[in-house]
Amino acid sequence: MSGYGGQPPWEDPYAGHQYGGQHYGGQPGGAGYDPYGYGSGYGYGPPGVPYATRSNGSAIAALVCNCVAVVLCCNIFAIPGIATGAVAVARASTDPDSSRRLAIWSWCLLGASFVVAIIVFVAFMALGAASEPDYDSGGGGI
């Protein structure tokens, strides 16, 4: 053995490689250098293989908001939004495009359920105001 700075007593398996013998600081290209030649800059994999997947956060948020609308607001019209949100979450890993469309439908159903709930509330208020008895016009008062 030769000690520090000398050649190792074994044969370097990467000596015939294009970048053999060069380590972190001595590599051409700096920190983003890709020694495997994939071209991605960080060695995440070969070209054509995505290393980032789409998030299903919108589908999860739509599902949670529809559930909150049903439970806390007694908005039974949000139940179809729960169904589409659940299907969107289930399809997120297998069919991301369908999951995205279903998440949009779930948000639209949530908005429509609130519009319907407001219309029903206003209708009940109008019916309630119209059906109040008039205590002042009755006969036989004291």
**Grouped pLDDT means (10 residues each) for the chain, 142 residues:** 61 58 48 52 56 77 94 89 94 90 94 92 88 66 56
Q: What is the pLDDT of residue 93?
A: 86
Q: What is the pLDDT of residue 45?
A: 57
For residue 41, the one-letter residue type is G
pTM over 0.85? The answer is no
For residue 82, the one-letter residue type is I
Q: What is the pLDDT of residue 128?
A: 84
d(CA 117, CA 138): 36
Q: What is the pLDDT of residue 26?
A: 47
Instruction: Specify whether the CB–CB gap between 30 and 75 falls below 8 A.
Output: no
Q: In the block, which residue shows the tokens 């990467």? A: 14
Q: What is the pLDDT of residue 54?
A: 67
d(CA 84, CA 65): 12
CA–chain centroid gap for 139, Å, is 66
Question: Can you give 37-50 as a three-state secondary structure string?
Answer: CCCCCCCCCCCCCC
